[in-house]
Amino acid sequence: MSSPKVFIYTPVDQTGKSHERLTAAGIDLKLGDIVWSKLDGNLDIAGQIGKGTAALMGVAIMRIPITREVMQVSKDLRIVAKYTVGTDDVDVEAATEMGILVTHCPTEANWSGVAEGAMAMMLALLKKVRERDRFVKEGGWRDASLTGQFLGKRQDGYEGLTIGIIGLGRIGSRLADLLAPWRVRLIACDPYKGDEQFIHHNVDRVDMDTLLRESDVVSLHTNLTAETRGMIGAEQLGKMKSTAVLLNTSRGPVVNGDALFEVLDQGRIAAAAIDVFEEEPVPAQSPLLGLGDKILVSPHVVTFNIGAGLTTAIPWATDHVLAALRGEVPEHVYNPEVIDKWLDRFGGKNLL
């Protein structure tokens, strides 16, 4: 029996230990040359997939979509295993139709890191951290323009801020937990979560319009789907307070970038902090980059933390591939509706 083929089109394991583990299992491993953090290398992965490839592995990069055409290159393809939480670069519907598993890695280091990053970005905006730092370095000292906002409710009658969370899944609920001691008013919108999720995290359920109208901070924590693509556009931004700030650490295409530029440029919302863009890497000529302190930007690295990031996900993704090649259903299947069909095709058929 020939060795099963696995193609890691965006290698991320700098130690090489997971590669050694795969080859030790008898796998014919092929590594792509894409440097995922810079998107250097051959992005035409369809032309690099061997006919007998049983597994694809990589990170979520929108410029390297795993389309139906890509997956059709190998009729033996069993699994598309992502090192990332996000799978929005994969045509999951096509994979399901074709009987292919899509797995992802929702490690706590990843999703909780997003919540902590959103918290840091929010505080940087509200407390004017960048402005204060720059003011002192330029020779200034104490100025009314450096006045920040107090977050929580106080005994002197100050009601505190309202924080609106769109998407109360792992990340949104962790952000709510981080904010609990701050005594802010927490509201959220998520039609896919039951009341128990809201109660458990001490968050009031509201509809989208109410959240946009009443929030001082709107933080986005949704997957990218057909439903959420362009979810925040001119109409939605127009409902926000002129003093409100928007945080996007989810996916760039959830927010219409042109509409965001307009409301920031015209002062119709106060500020925004974004880790993700509609096009990545963000073009140097993007008008969003010319808004000064009205926008805080980050290069899609909100999960980059020492000992975290993709480090903890690499063993998970490796486990997923090994299980699938043994003919077993791995953990963290993103498209569970495919499992019965997949078992009919590959169940119990061990390639190792």
What residues act catalytically? 251, 280, 300
Q: How many CB atoms lie within 10 A of CB 324?
A: 27
3-class secondary-structure state, position 272: strand
Cα separation of 260 and 265, whole Å?
Answer: 8
Structure tokens at 30: 């092929």
Cα separation of 39 and 63, whole Å?
Answer: 9
Residues 6+ apart with CB under 8 A from 37: none
CA 207 to chain centre: 23
Cα separation of 337 and 101, whole Å?
Answer: 9
Structure tokens at 38: 């810079």
Cα separation of 90 and 87, whole Å?
Answer: 6
Eight-class DSSP state of 282? P
Cα separation of 189 and 168, whole Å?
Answer: 7
Cα separation of 164 and 247, whole Å?
Answer: 10
> CA 290, 293, 299 angle in degrees (round to 5)?
70
**Residue 247 in contact with residue 272, Cβ under 8 Å?**
yes
Structure tokens at 305: 């933390």
Sheet of 271-274, strands arranged across = 204-205, 185-189, 162-166, 217-220, 245-248, 271-274, 295-297
